Structure 1
Amino acid sequence: MADDTALKLDAAQLNAFLARAFPEAGAQLPEVVEAEPGRVLVRQAFASRALRPGGLISGPTQMAMADTAAYAVILAHIGEVAMAVTTSLTIHFLRGAKPGELYAEGTLLKLGRRIATVDVLIWSESRERAAAKATVAYAIP
């Protein structure tokens, strides 16, 4: 089992890897702003294309943030393993995410040899007014 207290990639290294792995995303790629043992914080700049009818940030945008935060916290601990893949993502939408920067905090729940599980909290206004909560599992090759 990987050591969940030691980071193999910091925030800058994670951002560089994500930019190489997803070059087509360009400026739309979320940014890892913090990486520490067991936790990452990811930020997505506001873009009006992320809004759904009614002027709230869309569910698919929030799900992508949950997936990105999970991928980032796992890679922070196992290194550049591009083929780690999502096996499940369960999300609960708690309230509408108002337009603005979107944040996702991924917390590593379990890091095994083949499966990792991450808890993700998503918000736009403040962490205390979470818009969604997700649990994401990844298969590790």
Structure 2
Amino acid sequence: MTLAMSHAALSQHLEQGFGPVGADLTIDAVDEGSVTLRLCPHEGHIRLGGTVSGPSLFLLADVAFYFAILARLGPVEMAVTTNASIDFMRKPAGDLPVLGTATVHKLGRTLAVGQVLMRNPGRDAVLAQASLTYAIPPKRD
């Protein structure tokens, strides 16, 4: 399988199409099987107790999976989340980046299904796991 969008193209799309949200994320890696985004938490991502908030982890998971779809299909503006579920397994430290590695398990004509595993860099322990389904708009001729 060849990629429809390169690391550079995805990074440009993130910078230009996501406004202030895009500033909180960077694309770490893109390959034929996955896309990894990095969230470097700042005070807006930290909740009481010094941990990265659940909504911030959802942001990472949702955008990472969207970009995994884009890497395979190319620019698809109206691909949207139709289902998302997150299991929070470990407390993410607020002073460390969080990596979200998104994998597309099934890419059909109208739906994409996959998961995002979230970890701290250099650590094997999974902080959270998200399962996502996206609706893909029909192609127009």
User: 1:27-72 deviations in whole A, cap 9, x for unaligned?
Assistant: 22x1111111120111112312211110000000001111011001
Deviation at 1:108, TM superposition (A): 1.1
**2:38 aligned with 1:43:** yes
Between the aligned partners of 1:132 and 1:101, the Cα distance in structure 2 is 13
**2:11 aligned with 1:15:** yes
- The code of the aligned residue for 2:81 comes to T
**2:76 aligned with 1:76:** no
Deviation at 1:130, TM superposition (A): 1.2
User: 1:83-105 deviations in whole A, cap 9, x for unaligned?
Assistant: 11011111000010012111100
TM-score (norm 1): 0.90
Q: Is the 8 A contact 1:11 1:34 kept in 2?
A: yes
Q: Secondary structure at the match of 2:93?
A: coil
Unaligned runs of 5+ in 1: none
> Which region of structure 1 is more displaced relative to structure 2, 125-134 or 75-84?
125-134
Unaligned runs of 5+ in 2: none
Between the aligned partners of 1:125 and 1:36, the Cα distance in structure 2 is 18
Between the aligned partners of 2:3 and 2:22, the Cα distance in structure 1 is 26
Structure 1 vs Structure 2 CA RMSD: 1.3
TM-score (norm 2): 0.90
Between the aligned partners of 1:16 and 1:23, the Cα distance in structure 2 is 12
Between the aligned partners of 2:90 and 2:67, the Cα distance in structure 1 is 25
Aligned residues: 136
Deviation at 1:128, TM superposition (A): 1.2
Partner of 2:59: 64
Partner of 1:102: 98
Q: Is the 8 A contact 1:21 1:82 kept in 2?
A: no
Q: Secondary structure at the match of 1:128?
A: coil
